[in-house]
């Protein structure tokens, strides 16, 4: 059910590695672990971290910043400023065909317009693929990845039984069970530029961690996604690899993002482990903003782009006031700094936030 009209409606745990691959050291700050990759549980290692905690704002320029994205970035920024975390701005622009021209610069301008700032960046992932190639070489040298020529339809045709549906972006990738591995998967190989997908040998084991918002998690990515693609046939890293390499090299210790990526956290923990790097960041996954139909905020709910509200005359303090009310605070115009002073994670609702026509009307009221 669309909101009204359409033009402008609103639309810590246990974390210690108990199993680890033979991937060896990877960059500064790595701590080697002890191995057997097939133990049944990976207890994620979140610490200890150095004195300065670091987070990142990581917009993808695949579309315009809407109220839902703005809310996640603002909560992330506010927690960082409250707690003295460094902030790195990273543009996740690797998904070439899905990127929209100008969307990265526009996202940066809108974050600034809302009153956010950062201490480092913007880094643009697509500018230099060498750090990701280096990670692939390490995974290949440890026998943890293999080239795979199978197409999506071949994988789906081969799947014998329906699989658990993972949350978030995993829904777009077919489950890849170990039976489909090609002969030779698991052998030590040399990674080179390629027109094949490369997949990670996903161990069949539970990954356990405590999410700072969502609580204790026990996820088995082999059952949901299977051997995931870590390098694509477009000859660039897939999201899961890029995010792990970048969070590690940028010293990220705190990740705040939407809970559509909760399942990805288990896959990312598996990659930290396969690369022999630790500790992983602490994750805080927040419930998404949805439309009145309960589906994640998107075009079908009308125009919820922050830019459209700005162009229609809503100031940043009005947009932040709406986001504040979505976080359990009073609904009133406020600056980003006031929001950072007032935000308390324990008042953020634990269920999805519904963006209503009244929210839209409030944003535009003079
Ligand atoms: N770039 C992703 C997004 O805009 C966020 C990924 C992440 O936080 O790990 O949704």
| CATH architecture of structural domain 28-50+129-286 | 3-Layer(aba) Sandwich (3.40)
**What is residue 45's predicted lDDT score, i.e. its pLDDT?**
84
Choose the residue to mutate in 69, 98, 261 for probing ligand 1, maximizing ligand atoms within 8 Å of C-beta: 261
Query: What CA–CA distance (Å, rounded) separates 32 from 108?
Result: 37
Please write the tens of the pLDDT for every residue from 235-245.
999 999 999 99
Contact at 8 Å (CB) between 228 and 267?
Answer: yes
Please, which residues have CB within 8 angstroms of residue 284's CB and are 6 or more apart in sequence?
79, 211, 212, 213, 254, 255, 256, 257, 345
Identify the pLDDT of residue 21: 34
How far is CA 276 from each of CA 23, 29, 65, 293, rounded to the nearest angstrom?
A: 5, 11, 35, 43
Cβ proximity of 252 and 54 under 8 Å: yes
What size, in residues, is the chain?
Answer: 366
DSSP string, 214-269: TEEEEE-HHHHTBS-EEE-TTSSB-HHHHHHHHHHHTT--EEEEEGGGHHHHHHHH
Distance 91 CA to ligand 1 centre (A): 9
Q: Which of 68, 95, 103, 243 to mutate to test the pocket of ligand 1 (most atoms within 8 A of CB)?
A: 243
> Is the pLDDT confidence value at 230 over 50?
yes
Smallest CA-to-CA distance from 74 within 348, 282, 352 is with 348
Q: Decide: 259 in ligand 1 pocket, CB within 6 A.
A: no
Best residue among 100, 257, 271, 272 to mutate for probing ligand 1, ranked by most atoms within 8 Å of CB: 257
The answer to whether 19 and 241 are in contact (CB under 8 A) is no
Question: Please, is 16 exposed, middle or buried when counting C-beta atoms within 10 Å of its C-beta (0-12, 13-18, 19+)?
Answer: middle
* Annotated domain spans of the chain: 28-50+129-286
Give the per-residue pLDDT at 160: 62
The pLDDT score that the predictor gives to residue 30 is 39
For the ranges 285-289, 297-301, 362-366, the one whose mean pLDDT is highest: 285-289
Can you give the pLDDT at residue 135?
98
Contacts of 51 (CB under 8 A, 6+ apart): none
pLDDT at residue 95 in the model = 82
CA–CA separation, 292 and 300 (whole Å): 11
What is the pLDDT, as a whole number, of residue 318?
98
Find out whether 301 and 366 touch, Cβ atoms under 8 Å: no
CA angle 65/262/25 to nearest 5° reads 105
pTM for this prediction? 0.87
Q: Does the beta carbon of 207 sit less than 6 angstroms from any atom of ligand 1?
A: no
pLDDT band at 46 (very low <50, low <70, confident <90, very high): confident
Confidence of residue 20 (pLDDT cuts 50, 70, 90): very low
Phi and psi torsions of 289, nearest 5°:
-85, 130
Kindly state if the Cβ of 281 falls inside 6 Å of ligand 1: no
CB 92 less than 6 A from any atom of ligand 1:
yes
- Whether 257 is in the pocket of ligand 1, judged by its Cβ within 6 Å, is yes
Where does residue 83 rank: exposed (0-12), middle (13-18), buried (19+ CB within 10 A)? exposed
Contact 44, 207 (CB under 8 A): yes
**Mean pLDDT of all residues belonging to the chain:** 87
Q: How far is the CA of 31 from the centre of ligand 1 (A)?
A: 26
Three-state DSSP class for residue 112 = helix
**Mean pLDDT (whole number) for 285-308:** 93
Question: Where does residue 353 rank: exposed (0-12), middle (13-18), buried (19+ CB within 10 A)?
Answer: buried
């Amino acid at each position: 059910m669309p909101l009204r009209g359409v033009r402008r409606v609103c639309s810590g745990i246990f974390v210690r590695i108990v199993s680890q691959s033979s991937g060896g050291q990877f960059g500064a700050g790595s701590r080697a672990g002890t191995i057997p990759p097939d133990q049944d549980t990976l207890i994620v290692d979140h610490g200890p971290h150095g004195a300065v905690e670091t987070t990142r704002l990581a917009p993808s320029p695949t579309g315009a910043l809407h109220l839902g994205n703005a809310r996640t970035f603002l909560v992330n920024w506010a927690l960082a400023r409250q707690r003295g975390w460094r902030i790195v701005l990273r543009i996740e622009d690797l998904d070439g065909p899905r990127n929209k021209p100008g969307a990265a610069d526009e996202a940066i301008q809108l974050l600034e317009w809302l009153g956010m700032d950062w201490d480092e960046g913007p880094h643009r992932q697509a500018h230099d693929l060498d750090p990701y190639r280096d990670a692939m070489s390490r995974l290949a040298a440890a026998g943890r990845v293999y080239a795979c020529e199978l197409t999506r339809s071949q994988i789906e045709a081969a799947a014998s039984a329906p699989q658990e549906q993972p949350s978030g972006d995993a829904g777009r990738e077919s489950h890849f069970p170990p039976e489909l591995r090609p002969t030779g998967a698991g052998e030590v190989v040399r990674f080179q530029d390629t027109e094949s997908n490369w997949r990670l040998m996903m161990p069949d084991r539970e990954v356990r961690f405590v999410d700072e918002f969502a609580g204790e998690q026990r996820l088995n990515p082999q059952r949901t996604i299977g051997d995931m693609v870590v390098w694509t046939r477009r000859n660039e890293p897939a999201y899961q690899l890029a995010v792990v390499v970048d969070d590690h090299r940028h010293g990220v210790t705190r990740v705040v993002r939407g809970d559509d990526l909760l399942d990805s956290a288990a896959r990312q923990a598996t990659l930290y482990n396969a690369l022999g790097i630790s500790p992983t960041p602490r994750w805080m996954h927040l419930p998404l903003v949805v439309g009145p139909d309960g589906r994640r905020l998107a075009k079908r709910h009308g125009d919820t782009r922050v830019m459209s509200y700005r162009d229609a005359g809503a100031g940043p303090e009005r947009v932040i006031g709406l986001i504040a009310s979505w976080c359990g605070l009073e609904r009133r115009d406020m600056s980003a700094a006031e929001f950072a002073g007032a935000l308390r994670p324990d008042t953020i609702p634990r269920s999805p936030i519904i963006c209503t026509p009244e929210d839209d009307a409030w944003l535009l009221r003079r």
